[in-house]
Amino acid sequence: MTFDVGDLMLQSVPFARTLDVSFDTVEPGHAVARMPDRADLHNHVGGPHAGVLFSVAEVASGATMISVFGDQLSRATPLVTNATIRYLKLAKGEIVAEACLRASKEEVVAKLDAGERPEFDVLIEIRTADGTVVSEMTVTWTLSMRR
């Protein structure tokens, strides 16, 4: 099964389209999402609202998850079970979220095969276009067997 993960994310997650998210890279276990600077999404100090930063990172984590586990979607539903974010600096301008899977596909699929509900983390670094790290996030995903 071959499909464009970035396109799938933008089709299946309307909010990603609302934010004008695009993907620079989506490859197994790694994705880079980008969002342009938009004044209508700024907070009271002139940068992207905290919820916007969270959302772009979560979309990048979803693309990363699907890039590895997309072949499991016919039998399992991916769900976020937890997310933590740390805001480090005020973001200004375009936002780039780079996500990396921190799990072995074999271990996750083996748990799914055994009837368990595996959980795994995706780590995301959120930067401005010049490379300044403004936030760090971890999203914990699970694959829930369809009934």
Backbone angles phi, psi at 144, to 5 degrees: -105, 120
pLDDT at 2: 57
The pLDDT tens digits of the residues spanning 86-110 come to 999 999 999 999 999 999 999 999 9
Which residues contact residue 99 at a Cβ distance below 8 angstroms, ignoring those fewer than 6 apart?
A: 30, 31, 32, 33, 57, 60, 61, 63, 64, 122, 123, 124, 139
Summarize pLDDT for 21-67 with one digit per residue, the tens. Answer: 999 999 999 999 999 999 999 999 999 999 999 999 999 999 999 99
Q: Given this model, what pLDDT does residue 3 score?
A: 65
Domain extent at residue 121: 5-145
> How many domains are there within the chain?
1
Closest by CA position to 27, among listed 54, 64, 53: 64
Residue that wins the pLDDT comparison between 99 and 3? 99
Q: Give yes or no for a contact between 49 and 42, defined as CB atoms under 8 angstroms apart.
A: yes
Instruction: Look up the CATH number of the domain holding residue 129.
Output: 3.10.129.10
Q: How high is the mean pLDDT of the chain?
A: 94
